């Protein structure tokens, strides 16, 4: 099986490791516009070869798109000579716009997927061995993919240890706005608010585990998250509105010294861990 990975950062690099460990008789070709990423991916053994062009990658049996969501849409427009049995799997964090923008002639080739995993780090050197193992991958509008493409995608994701969940693309984007995209916006806001009020020495001296946990994902790639926020703008705005309403509740209870009500509000929040 010839597998191509476009984008050799954290997600693409870690995928290369997982596929090489779990798929027999596969050859993995990588492609990235960043020449340093290509050299690092080859040196680290994340891929077997580096393809000179996307055109060469397009001849693979399976193509993974592990690039920012705007770049996924642009890349899909450029696929001209895709074989009918080729399986294209995008790993973007948004789904509705990607699915809607896919050219009709290759829609059956596409499997729209969102692996619910990652770290705040990026680049080939951030790739880790078990990034995908025991994680969820959301497969959207799978019935619109070809039967062969469905079978290939399910087989590959399950082989690398992922649990498959099925969802409609618009529903995915609504849920992702609350569970993934809004928390990233909150982390960026937290980091900026602290840095604008505190000097580096105070932050270093006083930052505990809670602050480090909440601000960790503010280290994520701004380019990647700008694209995600743009594509899922309407859902993110609704999620941010609801977050602001909760923050306003907290502020009002503290201002009015409504400590019993504040305790109940925090107790309600504790219930999240009964779910997780």
* Domain boundary assignment for the chain: 2-167, 172-275
Helices marked H in 79-199 — which ranges?
A: 96-101, 147-159, 169-176, 182-195
Asked if residue 6 lies in contact with residue 93, where contact means CB atoms within 8 angstroms, the answer is: no
Asked if residue 41 lies in contact with residue 47, where contact means CB atoms within 8 angstroms, the answer is: yes
pLDDT at 14: 96
pLDDT at 122: 83
Stretches in the chain below the pLDDT threshold 70: none
Q: Convert the pLDDT of each residue in 36-73 to its tens digit.
A: 999 999 999 999 999 999 999 999 999 999 999 999 99
pLDDT at 220: 85
pLDDT at 202: 80
pLDDT at 163: 97
Q: Could you tell me what percentage of the chain is helix, strand and coil, using 3-state DSSP and rounding each to the nearest 5? A: 60, 15, 30
**C-alpha–C-alpha distance, residues 177 and 230, integer Å:** 12
pLDDT at 211: 80
Task: Let me know if the fold of 2-167 is the same as that of 172-275.
Answer: no
Q: Helix 69-78 and helix 222-231: axis angle, to 10°?
A: 80
For domain 2-167, the CATH superfamily is NAD(P)-binding Rossmann-like Domain (3.40.50.720)
pLDDT at 74: 96
Global confidence as pTM: 0.89
pLDDT at 195: 87
For the structural domain made of 172-275, what CATH number should be given?
Answer: 1.10.3660.10
The three-class DSSP label of residue 61 is: coil
pLDDT at 145: 97
pLDDT at 43: 94
């Amino acid at each position: 099986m010839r597998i191509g990975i476009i984008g050799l950062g954290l997600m693409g690099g870690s995928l290369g490791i997982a596929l090489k460990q779990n798929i027999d008789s596969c050859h993995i070709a990588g492609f990235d516009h960043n020449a340093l990423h290509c050299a690092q991916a080859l040196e680290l053994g994340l891929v077997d070869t580096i393809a000179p062009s996307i055109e060469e990658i397009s001849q693979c049996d399976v193509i993974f798109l592990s690039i920012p969501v705007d770049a996924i849409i642009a890349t899909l427009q450029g696929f001209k000579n895709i074989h009918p049995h080729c399986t294209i799997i995008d790993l973007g964090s948004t789904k509705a716009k990607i699915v809607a923008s896919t050219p009709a002639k290759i829609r059956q080739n596409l499997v729209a997927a969102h692996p619910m995993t990652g770290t705040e780090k990026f680049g080939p050197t951030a790739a880790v061995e078990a990034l995908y193992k025991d994680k969820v991958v959301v497969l959207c509008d799978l019935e619109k993919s070809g039967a062969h493409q469905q079978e290939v995608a399910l087989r590959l994701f399950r082989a690398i240890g992922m649990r498959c969940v099925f969802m409609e693309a618009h529903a995915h984007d609504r849920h992702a706005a609350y569970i993934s995209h809004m928390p990233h916006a909150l982390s960026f806001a937290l980091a900026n608010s602290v840095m604008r009020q505190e000097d580096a020495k105070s932050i270093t001296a006083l930052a505990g585990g809670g602050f480090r946990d909440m601000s960790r994902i503010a280290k994520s790639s701004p380019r990647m998250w700008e694209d995600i926020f743009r594509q899922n703008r309407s859902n993110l705005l609704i999620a941010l509105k609801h977050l602001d309403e909760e923050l306003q509740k907290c502020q009002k209870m503290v201002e009015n010294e409504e400590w019993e009500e504040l305790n109940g509000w925090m107790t309600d929040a504790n219930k999240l861990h009964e779910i997780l």
